[in-house]
Amino acid sequence: MPIRTAAPALAGALALAAVAAPGTAFAVTQPVKPQITHAAVSSLNIGLTGKLTFSVNISAKDAKGVKSIQALPYPLASKAVPTRTDVAKEPGSSLPTLARTATTLTVGASDVINVAVDRFPDEIAGTYGVAILVTAKDGSTTFAAKGATYSWTRADVLSAKPASGTVRKGALLTVKGQLNRADWTKRVWAGNGGQLVLLQQRNAKGVWVTKATAKTAANGSVSVSARDYASGSWRLVYGGNTVSGAAVSGATSVVVK
């Protein structure tokens, strides 16, 4: 399954991840295995419009030279991790060569996604792993079942509006908001229900401090209250999850009298 079309469909929507080179020492009679020196893939948080670039870049080295680098993405939630054999036999697991020396090889690809044109089903949002197999020219190999990880999330937008622009000192301030998430299948912004939202106030040092929390209703609406003792700015924050991107509302000033 090629990187470009494997889970998710745009297949490169990848989370930045580095791969540690193996450090196991081998007996003199055994060949020294090749080392994965770099594996970076970019994550994407996708809304309904705009253009995004996805890329994958993997490097390896070996004293005898690197013959090939193969990579195969898979959904982490499935628990079905590709084996060394799976990667070796997959026709689309080989990536274009970007650079080669006597002892190193770098492969990868990059592509621009036009979100309005390249449409994808909601079901492919999630976190993925990339199994990497490096083969040296002397036949020795190195396999990393989770050599890199990436995520592909549905973008979220969050609004916030205080019930009043002024409150008495120590009185409850209520902030209402709406959390919507991109529905790729229907091409609309839809309410994201059952999600934890933080109500934050910026203190005198400019630090945002969480004052209260609440979960969004089924339609994505939320109402959360906290006592207000000083004039300042308030906002709502959503941390996101494995399928949804994080979102922060605009800040709104409230005067305490």
Q: Is 23 helix (H, G, I), strand (E, B) or coil?
A: coil
pLDDT value for 45: 97
Q: Which pLDDT belongs to residue 92?
A: 87
The reported pLDDT for the residue numbered 31 is 61
- Exposure string (b/e) for 102-130, b if CB count within 10 Å is 16 or more? eebbbbbbeeebebeeeebeeebbbbbbb
Show pLDDT as tens, one digit a residue, over the chain (257 residues). Answer: 334 333 333 333 333 222 222 333 333 445 689 999 999 999 999 999 999 999 999 999 999 999 999 999 999 998 889 999 999 999 889 999 999 999 999 999 999 999 999 988 999 999 999 999 999 999 999 999 999 999 999 999 999 999 999 999 999 999 999 999 999 999 999 999 999 999 999 999 999 999 999 999 999 999 999 999 999 999 999 999 999 999 999 999 999 99
The pLDDT value recorded for residue 91 is 87
Distance CA(133)–CA(113), nearest Å, equals 27
Q: At 150, which amino acid appears?
A: Y
Interatomic CA distance for residues 131 and 149, integer angstroms:
9
pLDDT at 15: 30
Q: Which one, of 252, 115, 249, 120, lies nearest residue 173 by Cα? A: 252
- Rounded Cα gap, residues 60 and 105, in angstroms: 6
Evaluated on CA atoms 18, 88, 11, 104, the torsion sign reads positive
Q: What's the whole-model pTM score?
A: 0.81
